[in-house]
Amino acid sequence: MFSIMAGLIYLAAIVLPIWLLSRHRAAWYWHVLALIVAAVVGLAPGTPLLETTAGTFIYGFLFLSMAVWGIGGLLPFRSRRHTLA
């Protein structure tokens, strides 16, 4: 049961930032800040919250979504939408 929940949570942590990146473009410094937050969350020492299943899901969701948002925003992106001049 927890493996299905973990899969759904981590899938949402990947799909949500990608969907947001496709809808909204933010300045580059917000993506750098997201990478810094991901590094802080990922390198944080163990806490009592992290020793619980819910805490592991929270930390994992935050780390993965911030990392995907940060990396995805810094990659060069060209829209496939064609504008008529």
User: How confident is the model at residue 82, as a pLDDT?
Assistant: 61
45-68 pLDDT per residue, tens: 888 888 898 999 999 999 999 999
User: How confident is the model at residue 85, as a pLDDT?
Assistant: 57
Structure-derived torsion over alpha carbons of residues 54, 62, 11, 46, reported in degrees to the nearest 10: -50
Measured between alpha carbons, how far is 1 from 53 in angstroms, rounded to an integer? 12
Instruction: List C-alpha distances in Å: 10 to 26, 29, 30, 73, 77.
Output: 23, 25, 22, 19, 24
Measured between alpha carbons, how far is 29 from 4 in angstroms, rounded to an integer? 35
Please tell me the pTM assigned to this model. Answer: 0.81
> Are the beta carbons of 59 and 41 closer than 8 angstroms?
yes
